[in-house]
Structure 1
Amino acid sequence: MSRDRRAAPPGRNGVAAFLSLLGELLITVGLVLGLFVAYSLWWTNVLADRQADRRGDAVRQQWQATPAQPADPGALDTQGGIGFLHVPAMKNGEVLVKKGTTPGVLNDGVAGYYTEPVKSALPWDASGNFTLAAHRDGHGAKFHNIDKLRGGDAIVFETRDTWYVYKVFAELRQTSKYNVDVITSVPKESGRTAAGRYITLTTCTPVYTSKYRYVVWGELVRTEKVDAKRTPPAELR
């Protein structure tokens, strides 16, 4: 004679249903977080690179349409951008440089020069520190490979009529994001104590965070006039 099947207690059914629903919710949350990470670390790069390419093309077209020798070098400082940064060791192609370091500037896949809390010098100034910032992850991630730079590596800045060639001489792998001394006109933390023509690259660190800042310093070693073919300096060939 077969035994009668007994129904599971109502409470047990409720727990099973709750656990099933919780599992589905966790899977959904995981998918949403995964999509958000993909958007932040990949898609924003795609969008920023497209925007930067368009703006870079516009700057080069502007250069072709205006005189090669402006009466005031500051005339190069346009809303579109002042020139292009080339750092072979970072393998990031040319990077358009614009005024400012706010998210509204840097999120377009460019580097920006500081206007506060310490105002940047510009490459054509007689002395000072040309101080730049860019994202390390997302939004173009133009300084993602900043940790690849070593002493003696080239940093080249291109304007309409001049190549400015710098050489890396010091780095600071981690410092407070509130440390403004690294972008002063004479960055003493780099080991320099006298006025010169410096360049400073800054970005967030560790990777995928913004807790600290990574800093690389370079010093101008020479300039070259841009020729009709825009032949790059030896460091970029």
Structure 2
Amino acid sequence: MRDRVPVVVQTRGVRSTPARVLWVGAEAVITCGVVLLLLVVHQLWWTNQQARAQATQQVRALEREWEGSPPAPSVEESPPVEGTPAPVESVASPEAEAEAEPAATPSSRRPPLSSAYAILRIPRIGLTAPVARGVGKRSVLDRGYVGQYPDTAAPGRPGNFALAGHRNTHGEPFRYINRLRPGDRIRVQTREREYEYVVDQVLAQTAPRDTGVIQPVPRSLVKPSYGYSAPGSYLTLTTCTPEFSSAYRLVVWAKLVR
């Protein structure tokens, strides 16, 4: 009787079903983590780079334009009536999608919507940013611009020159306005001239629907101890707070000095 020779069959290692599930799950988690990391980099870094580049380019374009042409004659506007409500439902959130459309006005009196017409400079926080009409997200704020609330006063005029800007992402021009203190200088340059305001009050937190802060005579409806009771020439800066949230609004008020 012949001796049987054992046959050895080599097979590729096959993972058991539980091990295979764990491996696939691990790959999915890693993939999701990479995608989330890329999204965070895009929001926190790339949008800032893009918006700051656009804003800087616009500031330079305005400066070149003003240097090469004589000042346009200013148009006198009637001061706003005290207590007249601004036609907005809330203090703008830079995260809001809706475009706030102003009432129709002759093009000779105001620049077109979303067109930068002034430059805001705040030396204390190293800010230089273009100012455009409107507080629309895509057309103004996401470009790194500072937006003027519709139907608020023009720079240097009686009433309330009220502005909004991103606190985080898309250039985040207002990220550090919480560092402003009474006495800090804010300059607003237009084709006609440069105006200077001095910071007077800071409201660290209020509700998004506190529209009193952007009225012609600004006063908080939520915290009435903050604000004013007499007409004047005011500048209001608003942004979201705390950082990376739109739960509340941070407000800075300044008064015209020249």
TM interval, short-chain normalised: 0.7 to 0.9
Question: Which residue number corresponds to residue 200 of structure 1?
Answer: 236
State the Cα deviation string for residues 84-113 of structure 1 (Å, max 9, x = none): 111112222x11000000102111111010
Match of 2:154 among 122, 127, 137: 122
For the residues of structure 1 that align with 2:184 and 2:58, how far apart are their CA atoms?
Answer: 27
State the Cα deviation string for residues 34-55 of structure 1 (Å, max 9, x = none): 1101101110011111111222
Q: TM-score, normalised by structure 1?
A: 0.81
CA contact (8 A) 2:162 2:214 kept: yes
Q: TM-score, normalised by structure 2?
A: 0.75
Question: Which residue number corresponds to residue 170 of structure 2?
Answer: 139
C-alpha displacement of 1:198: 0.3
Give yes or no for the alignment of 1:78 onto 2:93.
no
For the residues of structure 1 that align with 2:44 and 2:59, how far apart are their CA atoms?
Answer: 22
For the residues of structure 2 that align with 1:137 and 1:177, how far apart are their CA atoms?
Answer: 17
Question: Which residue number corresponds to residue 99 of structure 1?
Answer: 133
Counterpart residue identity of residue 98, structure 1? A
For the residues of structure 1 that align with 2:214 and 2:27, how far apart are their CA atoms?
Answer: 50
Structure 1 pair 91–148 and aligned structure 2 pair: CA distance change class (3 A): same
SS at match of 2:124: helix
For the residues of structure 2 that align with 1:114 and 1:203, how far apart are their CA atoms?
Answer: 12
Counterpart residue identity of residue 215, structure 1? V
C-alpha displacement of 1:69: 4.1
For the residues of structure 2 that align with 1:69 and 1:55, how far apart are their CA atoms?
Answer: 19
CA contact (8 A) 2:213 2:227 kept: no
Task: Choose 1 or 2 for highest CA Rg.
Answer: 2
Counterpart residue identity of residue 196, structure 1? G
CA contact (8 A) 2:74 2:192 kept: no
Give yes or no for the alignment of 1:30 onto 2:61.
no
C-alpha displacement of 1:59: 1.9
C-alpha displacement of 1:134: 0.6
Aligned length: 207
C-alpha displacement of 1:207: 0.6
State the Cα deviation string for residues 6-42 of structure 1 (Å, max 9, x = none): xxxx9x9222211121111111111111110110111
C-alpha displacement of 1:60: 2.1
C-alpha displacement of 1:73: 6.6
Higher helix share: 1
For the residues of structure 1 that align with 2:39 and 2:116, how far apart are their CA atoms?
Answer: 30
Structure 1 pair 170–71 and aligned structure 2 pair: CA distance change class (3 A): closer
Q: Which has the higher contact order (CA 8 A, sep 6+)?
A: 2
Question: Which residue number corresponds to residue 150 of structure 1?
Answer: 181
SS at match of 1:97: strand
Give unpaired runs (5+ residues) of structure 2. Answer: 1-13, 78-107, 221-225
CA RMSD between the two structures: 1.9
Question: Which residue number corresponds to residue 219 of structure 1?
Answer: 255
SS at match of 1:82: strand
CA contact (8 A) 1:76 1:82 kept: no
CA contact (8 A) 2:148 2:162 kept: yes
For the residues of structure 2 that align with 1:40 and 1:107, how far apart are their CA atoms?
Answer: 11
State the Cα deviation string for residues 188-209 of structure 1 (Å, max 9, x = none): 2333100000000001111111
CA contact (8 A) 1:87 1:154 kept: yes
For the residues of structure 2 that align with 1:34 and 1:77, how far apart are their CA atoms?
Answer: 43
For the residues of structure 2 that align with 1:128 and 1:142, how far apart are their CA atoms?
Answer: 24
For the residues of structure 1 that align with 2:159 and 2:213, how far apart are their CA atoms?
Answer: 13
Counterpart residue identity of residue 153, structure 1? D
For the residues of structure 1 that align with 2:251 and 2:196, how far apart are their CA atoms?
Answer: 18
